[in-house]
Amino acid sequence: MKKQIKKIAFLTSGGDAPGMNAVIRAIVRSCVYNKIVPVAIHKGYDGLINGSFEEMNARSVKGIINKGGTIIKTARSTEFRTKSGRKKAYNSLVENSIDALIVVGGDGTFNGAYIFNKEFKIPVIGIPATIDNDIFGTSHTIGYDTALNTVVEAIDKIRDTASSHNRLFFVEVMGRDAGHIALNSGVAAGAEEILIPEENLGLKRLIKSLKRSKNTGKSSSIVVVAEGDKTGKNVFELKDYVEKHLPEYEVRVSVLGHIQRGGSPSCFDRVLASRMGVGAVDSLLKNKSKAMVGIKNNKISLTPLIDAVKGKSKINSELLKISDIMSI
């Protein structure tokens, strides 16, 4: 017979993402609705190890749905990667009478949760929150839509100055291992070229494309570069390379950086976070565990944690074709 769940703890881990506060709100109020005590763990897995717990109620999460970041803080924990650290974390849960755990974050967060569940059998559910959208088992992660809107707005402004000065801009966006932000924002912002980790388009093709743009009368250009692009050069080396081979171009670099993680979450991310938070609590109450809540075909679904960790999200090949067509 399964143990009745009376207390659910939750934490945010890894890089922050817009919408984390919205999912915290959804978890807390879903727990209260189901007469379960919600317990916030501050500072991710480090807080789990050190017992940084706080019981919450429905009023604890008022006025946060529109806020970026995470009110319970997030951190990357080195100690949780050790067996002794995870044993401390388990002891903290036992001491606080926690029956189940919800972890909000990316693949590193889920990997830790999977190992933790395997060792100590604590019921655990993951919620994907990362701007990179690089998690297998869901079409969208919390924070991705907001980050896209932030990037497109920034590129639109960069294009204003690029066209005023007849310049070529390399715009670097986040995405060390996945090019979802670069590809989608590049198409939306009308970039001439998009460089992503999944496709090594090569430097010769880049030069050829920029020459073609110049020859067809384009006076300014935007190239969106994911930070994990496979050309073998960072964005500043790309600038030097183009200036060497195309001296007629005046080249500038803009690295958007952590601005992509901040800001008020979009309507889409607020709704997604609310759906996933409620879905996580409902799943635990149905004795589901070792799974990640995701969204597929606009429906909440569960993916085994191990699949979410080991699986690879796929880039939209249709958008690659669209990008080529739109850049002529």
Q: Position of tokens 């929150």?
A: 129
Sheet-wide strand order for 221-226:
193-195, 221-226, 167-173, 250-255
Contact 25, 38 (CB under 8 A): no
Ramachandran area for residue 69 (φ above 0: left; ψ -120 to 50: alpha; else beta): left
Rounded-to-integer distance, Cα 113 and Cα 103, Å: 7
Sign of CA dihedral 297, 178, 187, 185: positive
Residue 229: name the closest of 185, 309, 175 by CA: 175
Q: Position of tokens 């993680």?
A: 261
Q: Residue-wise over 60-84: b if at least 16 C-beta within 10 A, else e?
A: bbeebbebbbbebbbbbbeebeeee
Rounded-to-integer distance, Cα 169 and Cα 154, Å: 12
Catalytic residues, by residue number, are: 132
| Bridge partner list, 40 | 10, 54
